[in-house]
């Protein structure tokens, strides 16, 4: 497929997991991809995987919680590639704990990385998208937005992304910018492996337990989310905006 020929995509938190899978999927479909992570060195493995398959990508180091750093990095990306058409807000962390034991620092860190970074990147990129009268913003929310024991900070951030997405779609729609979110369920990543460790289980046992109560009887893979992000970033979803799509194997 070549849905993204001549398109430039920025993917944050793209060194591993869902971010890396998304960068690879967009590149496979023709996009030039700016692979953004905390350091360019961290992002380089994803770039190497893309270029090994004949795709176009460059690594960028950026702390997405720093507005000035985001502004400078996106300016460099626009200069290097000539435009920015797609933004995937994927950067995120967890600092899980029961609320009564949750330090203020862990609340602040999760809100800043998971939610404030979405403001930073979206606020910077909208000036490019509105000027060219075209853009796709896709942000990663989570099923945890509906509530999840031990994740008050993460749930609040991911719920915030859904409200932010709905509002930004209203404001940017007149400029032909689509804004949507994807809310994954359990995806087999290093982040969910850390969750398993927190509850005293191995990653394999935890995945098996989750799969057993998921209607499709498996856990998700990063590629499952990448496929949905690619849809929302494509012209196949040109009349979809302001939506949060849950991708969780039918779980309730």
> Active-site residue numbers?
154
Burial 191-200 (b: 16+ CB within 10 A, else e): bbbebbeeee
Per DSSP, the three-state class of 23 is helix
Contacts of 236 (CB under 8 A, 6+ apart): 3
Considering only CA atoms, which of 162, 132, 158, 134 is closest in space to residue 147?
Answer: 158
Residue 96: half-sphere exposure toward Cβ, Cα within 13 Å: 15
Given 3-state DSSP classes, what are the helix, strand and coil percentages for the chain, each rounded to the nearest 5?
55, 15, 30
Distances (CA, A) of 241 to 139, 171, 174, 247: 12, 11, 12, 17
Q: Indicate if the alpha-carbon torsion angle 59, 63, 67, 72 is positive or negative.
A: negative
Which residues pair with residue 181 across a beta bridge?
139, 244
């Amino acid at each position: 497929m070549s849905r993204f020929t001549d398109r430039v995509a920025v993917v944050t938190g793209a060194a591993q997991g869902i971010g890396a899978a998304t960068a690879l999927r967009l590149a496979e479909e023709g996009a030039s991809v700016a692979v953004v992570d905390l350091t360019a060195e961290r992002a380089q493995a994803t770039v190497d995987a893309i270029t090994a398959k004949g795709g176009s990508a460059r690594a960028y180091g950026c702390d997405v919680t720093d507005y000035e750093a985001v502004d400078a990095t996106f300016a460099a990306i626009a200069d290097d590639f000539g435009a920015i058409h797609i933004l995937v807000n994927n950067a995120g962390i967890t600092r899980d704990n029961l609320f009564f034991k949750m330090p203020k620092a862990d609340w602040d860190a999760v809100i800043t990385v998971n939610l404030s970074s979405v403001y930073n990147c979206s606020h910077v990129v909208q000036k490019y998208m509105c000027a060219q009268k075209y853009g796709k913003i896709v942000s990663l929310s989570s099923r945890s937005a509906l509530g999840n024991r031990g994740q008050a900070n993460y749930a609040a951030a991911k719920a915030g992304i859904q409200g932010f997405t709905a509002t930004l779609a209203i404001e940017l729609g007149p400029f032909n910018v689509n804004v949507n979110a994807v809310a994954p369920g359990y995806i087999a990543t290093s982040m969910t492996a850390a969750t398993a460790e927190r509850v005293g289980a191995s990653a394999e046992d935890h995945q098996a337990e989750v799969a057993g109560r998921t209607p499709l009887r498996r856990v998700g893979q990063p590629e499952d989310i990448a496929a949905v992000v690619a849809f929302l970033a494509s012209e196949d979803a040109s009349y979809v905006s302001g939506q949060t799509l849950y991708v969780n194997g039918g779980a309730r």
